[in-house]
């Protein structure tokens, strides 16, 4: 049986070293790729009197605000221009509309339907609105009605 030469051992050591270097580099890059994929995402909903606004998203609070206002303006002329915003995609938007003293709607985001509804109703009652009801709920993460 032939013994490996000194040069052969050096090549094996070099190959092993390169594989180790690649493995370490891959281990350092993978978390960075995951962090990029998990960038902060914001959702916004700018209510209108028809309760027809879609949820819009952005990479920042300001971008989500702007996109929510633009999304509302594409479907209505009665936008509030004051969207509800959240950076938690598990939250729910409640759209609550009132009849008195004039028709008006507001949206609020919270972890659950009840909290979102109460937050929206509080905002409306604090400004003198009454005869209010929930029009619908929407998922911050998907934009779908619930």
Secondary structure letter of residue 52 according to DSSP? -
Q: Find the mean pLDDT for residues 104-114.
A: 97
Please indicate whether residue 7 or residue 52 has the higher confidence score (pLDDT).
52
Give the C-alpha separation, 113 to 93, whole Å: 8
Q: Find the mean pLDDT for residues 88-105.
A: 96
Pick the closest to residue 56 from 77, 97, 65, 19 (CA basis).
Answer: 65
Percent of the chain with pLDDT over 90: 70
pTM of this prediction? 0.73
Per-residue pLDDT tens digits for 44-66 = 999 999 999 999 999 999 999 99
Pick the closest to residue 118 from 127, 131, 105, 109 (CA basis).
Answer: 109
* C-beta separation of 48 from 75 below 8 A: yes
* Confidence check: pLDDT of 8 > 70: no
- Please tell me the predicted confidence (pLDDT) of residue 3: 56
- Please tell me the predicted confidence (pLDDT) of residue 78: 95
């Amino acid at each position: 049986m032939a013994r490996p030469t000194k040069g052969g051992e050096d090549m094996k050591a070099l190959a092993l070293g390169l594989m180790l270097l690649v493995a370490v580099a891959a281990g350092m890059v993978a978390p960075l790729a995951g962090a990029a994929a998990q960038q902060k995402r914001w959702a916004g909903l700018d209510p209108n009197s028809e309760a027809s606004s879609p949820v819009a998203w952005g990479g920042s609070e300001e971008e989500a605000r702007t996109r929510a206002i633009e999304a509302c303006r594409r479907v209505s002329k009665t936008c509030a221009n004051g969207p509800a915003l959240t950076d938690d995609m598990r939250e729910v938007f409640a759209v609550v509309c009132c009849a008195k003293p004039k028709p008006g709607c507001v949206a609020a985001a919270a972890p659950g339907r009840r909290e979102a509804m109460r937050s929206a109703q509080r905002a409306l009652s604090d400004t003198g609105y009454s005869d209010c009801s929930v029009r619908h709920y929407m998922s911050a993460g998907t934009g779908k009605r619930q």
